[in-house]
Structure 1
Amino acid sequence: MAMEIIPAPRVTSPASGTPFVLDEHTALTAGPEAAGEARRLRSALGAATGFPLLPGRGGLPGGGRARIHLEVDPSLPDEGYRLEVGAERVGITGGGPAGVSWGGQTLRQLLGPDAFRRAPLPDRAWRLEPGVIEDAPRFAWRGMLLDVARHFMPKDGVLRYLDLLAAHKLNVLHLHLTDDQGWRIEIQRYPRLTEQGAWRERSMLGGRQHGQWEERPHGGFYTQDDIREIVAYAAERHIAVVPEIDVPGHSQAAIAAYPELGNTDAVDTGSLAVWTRWGINENVLAPTDAVLAFYENVLTEVLALFPGRFVHIGGDECPKAQWKASPAVRARIAELGLNGEDELQSWFIRHFDTWLAERGRRLIGWDEILEGGLAAGAAVSSWRGYAGGIAAAEAGHDVVMCPEQQVYLDHRQAEGEQEPIPVGYVRTLEDVYRFEPVPPQLAGTAEAAHVIGTQANVWTEMMDSARYVDYMAFPRLCAFSEVAWSSLAPPLERDFADFEHRMDAHYRRLDALGVEYRPPGGPLPWQRRPGVLGRPIEGPPPIV
């Protein structure tokens, strides 16, 4: 039983004996709770092998033929599975349908790279060596943020990324849907959010300090039916889609569509367009009752589209200059009895914390939302290092660890001018592999249980195509998937040499999936961006 599996399973027990041969006579059967997983696995393996994988005939499952059988056993962890390979039978038993699904992904890896193709190739033999794999994830939240606001990714690209997440046993897609540079979700009550807010006249090329431009309009958005399709497609793959609607900063696209959302006594909001620059924007939402009602209406439509418990509201990087300059805001601060603009931002966030909780949902936001206090049910995405996550966990909040210094996949992958638009710190494949989501300060404490998971963030200011997203995400997302899934020793004891060995096989799977990853030897000529300057940061990233 070849063990070149990513992410690494908990327990593998190879056995001697006759291999299982998958051919045109093999049946695929399932217990009632695994019927949906059987349909999806039959579709995937049938496309790759050309075999029908019928459920069998007569009263005996499989009609007496060699078969693959799927079933649910609640005694296993919900996302855990046991995969057993014998000469005449492959059994995948999951604690729930998700566990069966993850077992199916492992089966595809064991069958070889061509099991990930969409049509059969000639003269392929499909064999599995006997043995047993027992597996379950380390973290409940194993996510990737995809920023579709800075550069829009059409719906088919999002569906493709859901397949890639599922292939790596990642189970959360955090969709960054709104920002200064674009609003990407249809809100029927406010059509100008997409009529005007979904496109910008041009885009910066490379780092903002260089003044380079792509003189071409950019835009796009998802209709509500698109979102329903994405959410349903994700759910079939046991992936939760977490929407992000950013407030009160990162909001110029919304203000450009509805100028009354901005601080009209401090700036001419009627002259604003969707922002064409990168960076932190001074144009933020006004803290009025009308603005709160506007976003309540927006979120009402969002909740109808996204059934998951978590809703991300951003809450980061909100400059206070306009609030300081606004007589209306100063009056609002006095009316609410707050101590300045920082407390006003906390009041804004707490309003939606309460509003979402009243509707059975949980607010999650970037670690700035800790400033000023949160309701017990809110969760925190710790991006400015570990510190925010440690503070949140110690205060009783659940945490998703996604520190910029470790798992921001927009950061460059190597030194040198050959890397396309080099940004941020060097974060190699090994760096990501050695990331530890539970910081030493929490290890072994009761508060460590509040680290519910981890997430790699793909910010797309510099990524203007799906090819470029592939290059920056892969293969580092493979290393991240092992961090999030596998129960491994602390980072210094992780065996990167073994991971690299398993990646030799996994690159061929990525090839079959059509992923345009960064090759181990560096970018291919067409993956480079000569002349487009980035924003590299020298030296090692600080651990904060």
Structure 2
Amino acid sequence: MDKVNVVPSPRTIEYRGGSGPFGGEVRARVDPGLGNEAYRLTVGADGAEIVGGDEAGIFWGRQTLRQLLGPDAFRRAAIGGPPVVPYVTIEDAPRFGWRGFMLDVARHFMPKDGVLRYVDLLAAHKLNVLHLHLTDDQGWRVEIERYPRLTEVGSWRRRSQRGWGWPAQWDYRPHGGFYTKDDLREIVAYAAQRHITVVPEIDIPGHSQAAIAAYPELGNGDVIDVAALEVKTDWGVNPNVLNAEEPTLRFYEGVLEEVLEVFPSTFVHIGGDECLKDQWRRSPAAQARIDELGVEDEDGLQSWIIRHFTGWLAGRGRRLVGWDEILEGGLAEGATVASWKNYEAGIIAAEEGHDVVMCPRSAVYLDYRESEDPGEPVPSGKVTTLEDVYRFEVVPPRLAGTPHAERVLGAQANMWTEVAETPQRVDYQTFPRLVAFAEVVWSHEHDFESFQRRLHAAHYARLDAMGVDYRRPDGPRPWQSRPGIPGYSR
């Protein structure tokens, strides 16, 4: 299997003898009997045939054919002569239906062309979900026509914290940007051509300071001076959260109505994490709301908000997905949990009958540093090596072999960008660990030594051909370091 250098590794492969220059003819057809996203690729002297269980299967078969054609097949223009390919038959199918990558464009904005480039990178690795983290305390990145101040005010901050730590260091350049609706429609359409679904995230009720800075009436004005809030310039968990009043719910319904116009995805992410409730505890309005709704406490108030939007989205044919804190206070039927703190929330959600996307920070947070090397740029989190990601098991042992395991839709790797201020830095944090993740969520065979050999034999060259500024096996290059910028370690 190794000598074909296919990443991810295929389910079955048959060497039919010989190899030769690729003739270039590719024949494709659909056979639904193969199953969703499955394919059979046959390469011979007369070219290649791809039989897919559906159009997505044909597309993934084409990605494997690219791998067989050699690294130059990943360049944007052909160079050199016809590649020599082995004559093989490969039958393959994905292990999970949700094979995702979360890109945080709220903390540091990535222009549209950069996002389109990442769509291509996901497609090359047979990943099929791009989760865009579009709003946070530090920036609002999606145009909402009925609320123009969300981008006029909320998409720009006057400065940015450099790294982590206290006293804070500052980059005094204003930072910002946003996507127009047409930009996002283009991203969605471009991704759909590559059988990738774009899932939008609009944070509710925490991580909302950029929205409150634009529209102060969204905040808890009875306990803080909401008019004094600006788009947040530093990182960390923030006490400034939305109020729970009816006008705020109507505001976010209006936001989501426009989001649904742009994003056809079944799932819509509403965040729901790290909602500190101190302001609600001190707010007479929030306490009156708790009494009015008949919920037990502040956790119950957040649960009521999540339940409201679960039903609101369901009424429009969509499904709510949120981070694991949406379990607090009880979860509405039909809501899906993205389990980030650990495995436990995902296990509980699955056992309670909810669908789950596994993305525990201990295994698949790509913003975490990859080594103890002092040259790692702004080291953060815990050391998460390439092997750590490769050994990530999507279905926890407690669920494996039980009916609850079917509730695990798949997994995603998360790339937060507080200290990843450029596309090059995002590349460095993401690759090659995203390659390891791609194999974990696609393939049933996990052999790290084989994976390493295939990386060195061919896949690093593919990343080079695609222009990815990845982390080299022996550590960061001088231009990838950021000396003097404080990080934090766990």
Q: 1:90 aligns with which of 28, 44, 48?
A: 48
Task: Say whether the 8 Å CA contact 2:165–2:486 is kept in structure 1.
Answer: no
| Residue of structure 2 in register with 1:353 after alignment | 310
CA-atom RMSD, angstroms? 1.0
| Residue of structure 1 in register with 2:359 after alignment | 402
Q: Within 2, Cα distance between the matches of 1:421 and 1:124? A: 43
> Following TM superposition, by how much is the alpha carbon of 1:131 offset from its aligned partner in structure 2, in angstroms?
1.3
> Following TM superposition, by how much is the alpha carbon of 1:20 offset from its aligned partner in structure 2, in angstroms?
4.8
2:270 alignment partner, SS class? strand
Q: Within 2, Cα distance between the matches of 1:208 and 1:440? A: 37
Amino acid at match of 1:499: F
Task: Say whether the 8 Å CA contact 2:320–2:336 is kept in structure 1.
Answer: yes
Identical counterparts, % of pairs: 64
Amino acid at match of 2:451: F
1:274 aligns with 2:231: yes
| Residue of structure 1 in register with 2:193 after alignment | 236
1:129 alignment partner, SS class? strand
Task: Say whether the 8 Å CA contact 1:149–1:182 is kept in structure 2.
Answer: yes
| Residue of structure 2 in register with 1:541 after alignment | none
1:314 alignment partner, SS class? coil
> Following TM superposition, by how much is the alpha carbon of 1:250 offset from its aligned partner in structure 2, in angstroms?
0.2
Instruction: Report the TM-score when normalising by structure 2.
Output: 0.98
1:110 aligns with 2:63: no
Q: Within 2, Cα distance between the matches of 1:82 and 1:20? A: 20
| Residue of structure 2 in register with 1:527 after alignment | 480
> Following TM superposition, by how much is the alpha carbon of 1:85 offset from its aligned partner in structure 2, in angstroms?
1.1
Q: 1:500 aligns with which of 452, 458, 465?
A: 452
> Following TM superposition, by how much is the alpha carbon of 1:346 offset from its aligned partner in structure 2, in angstroms?
0.6
1:389 alignment partner, SS class? helix
Deviations 1:201-235 (A, max 9, x none): 00001114341111110000000000100000000
1:424 alignment partner, SS class? coil
1:19 alignment partner, SS class? strand
Q: Within 1, Cα distance between the matches of 2:464 and 2:344? A: 38
Q: How does 1:161-172 map to 2 (within 5 A)?
A: 161-172=118-129
Amino acid at match of 2:32: P
> Following TM superposition, by how much is the alpha carbon of 1:414 offset from its aligned partner in structure 2, in angstroms?
0.3
Q: How does 1:63-74 map to 2 (within 5 A)?
A: 67-74=25-32
Amino acid at match of 2:36: D
| Residue of structure 2 in register with 1:468 after alignment | 425
Q: Within 1, Cα distance between the matches of 2:143 and 2:88? A: 50
| Residue of structure 2 in register with 1:45 after alignment | none
Q: Within 1, Cα distance between the matches of 2:477 and 2:19? A: 42
| Residue of structure 2 in register with 1:292 after alignment | 249
Q: Within 2, Cα distance between the matches of 1:294 and 1:179? A: 16
Amino acid at match of 1:337: G
Task: Say whether the 8 Å CA contact 1:17–1:87 is kept in structure 2.
Answer: no
Q: How does 1:2-81 map to 2 (within 5 A)?
A: 2-17=3-18, 19-22=20-23, 26=24, 67-81=25-39
Q: Within 2, Cα distance between the matches of 1:266 and 1:372? A: 24
| Residue of structure 1 in register with 2:327 after alignment | 370
> Following TM superposition, by how much is the alpha carbon of 1:89 offset from its aligned partner in structure 2, in angstroms?
3.1
Amino acid at match of 1:501: R
> Following TM superposition, by how much is the alpha carbon of 1:21 offset from its aligned partner in structure 2, in angstroms?
2.6
1:311 alignment partner, SS class? strand
1:351 alignment partner, SS class? helix
Q: Within 1, Cα distance between the matches of 2:320 and 2:314? A: 8
Q: 1:250 aligns with which of 185, 191, 207?
A: 207
Amino acid at match of 1:329: A
> Following TM superposition, by how much is the alpha carbon of 1:18 offset from its aligned partner in structure 2, in angstroms?
5.1
> Following TM superposition, by how much is the alpha carbon of 1:120 offset from its aligned partner in structure 2, in angstroms?
2.4
Q: How does 1:97-176 map to 2 (within 5 A)?
A: 97-121=55-79, 123-176=80-133
CA, structure 1 residues 231+369, in 2 after alignment: closer, same or farther (shift >3 Å)?
same
Q: Within 1, Cα distance between the matches of 2:304 and 2:91? A: 47
> Following TM superposition, by how much is the alpha carbon of 1:71 offset from its aligned partner in structure 2, in angstroms?
1.1
| Residue of structure 2 in register with 1:479 after alignment | 436
Task: Say whether the 8 Å CA contact 2:40–2:90 is kept in structure 1.
Answer: yes
Amino acid at match of 1:16: G
Q: Within 2, Cα distance between the matches of 1:252 and 1:89? A: 56
Task: Say whether the 8 Å CA contact 2:4–2:86 is kept in structure 1.
Answer: no
1:299 alignment partner, SS class? helix
| Residue of structure 2 in register with 1:516 after alignment | 469
| Residue of structure 2 in register with 1:60 after alignment | none
> Which structure has the greater CA radius of gyration?
1
Q: Within 1, Cα distance between the matches of 2:11 and 2:171? A: 48
CA, structure 1 residues 210+417, in 2 after alignment: closer, same or farther (shift >3 Å)?
farther
1:437 alignment partner, SS class? coil
> Following TM superposition, by how much is the alpha carbon of 1:375 offset from its aligned partner in structure 2, in angstroms?
2.6
Q: Within 2, Cα distance between the matches of 1:259 and 1:200? A: 16
> Following TM superposition, by how much is the alpha carbon of 1:336 offset from its aligned partner in structure 2, in angstroms?
1.2
Task: Say whether the 8 Å CA contact 1:20–1:130 is kept in structure 2.
Answer: no
Amino acid at match of 1:81: Y
Task: Say whether the 8 Å CA contact 1:310–1:362 is kept in structure 2.
Answer: yes
Amino acid at match of 1:94: G
Q: Within 1, Cα distance between the matches of 2:425 and 2:47? A: 42
Q: Within 1, Cα distance between the matches of 2:89 and 2:373? A: 45
Amino acid at match of 1:281: N
Amino acid at match of 1:524: R
2:281 alignment partner, SS class? helix
Task: Say whether the 8 Å CA contact 1:208–1:279 is kept in structure 2.
Answer: no
1:261 aligns with 2:218: yes
Instruction: Report the TM-score when normalising by structure 1.
Output: 0.89
2:276 alignment partner, SS class? coil
> Following TM superposition, by how much is the alpha carbon of 1:134 offset from its aligned partner in structure 2, in angstroms?
0.3
1:307 alignment partner, SS class? coil
Task: Say whether the 8 Å CA contact 2:32–2:53 is kept in structure 1.
Answer: yes
Q: Within 2, Cα distance between the matches of 1:226 and 1:389? A: 34
Amino acid at match of 2:455: M
- Give unpaired runs (5+ residues) of structure 1: 27-66, 489-493, 538-544
Task: Say whether the 8 Å CA contact 1:20–1:89 is kept in structure 2.
Answer: no
